[in-house]
């Protein structure tokens, strides 16, 4: 993830989960993500907030690894999309 909250081997876990920035992620639901709130699979989706399409709106952006378009009802391989591929490489290089 672009945001680092601590190191599980060095930091107290209770202190990490008590941080306000960390707790912002707890309230995220699919109903708050524009494209996800209309998706028929939102209740069974295994979303990953570590990889999202937008760098500007990390918390509420569509999952990067989602290849489903709920408006068209079509699945595509997310890794074949050149924009998503570039975004994935950018995120991985930050690690």
**pLDDT tens per residue across span 6-64:** 888 999 999 999 999 888 888 888 899 989 999 999 999 888 877 888 867 777 888 88
Q: What are phi and psi of 2, to 5 degrees?
A: -65, -30
Alpha carbon distance 48, 63 (integer Å): 6
pTM over 0.75: no
On whether the CB atoms of residues 29 and 59 are closer than 8 A, the answer is no
- Provide the residue ranges of all domains of the chain, joining segments of one domain with +: 13-94
């Amino acid at each position: 993830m672009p945001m680092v909250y601590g190191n599980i081997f060095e930091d107290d876990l209770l202190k990490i989960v008590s941080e306000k920035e960390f707790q912002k992620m707890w309230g995220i639901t699919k109903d708050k993500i524009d494209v996800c709130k209309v998706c028929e699979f939102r209740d069974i989706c295994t979303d990953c907030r570590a990889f999202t399409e937008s760098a500007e709106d990390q918390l509420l952006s569509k999952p990067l690894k989602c290849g489903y378009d709920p408006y068209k009802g079509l699945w595509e391989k997310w890794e074949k999309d050149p924009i998503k591929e570039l975004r994935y490489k950018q995120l991985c290089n930050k690690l």
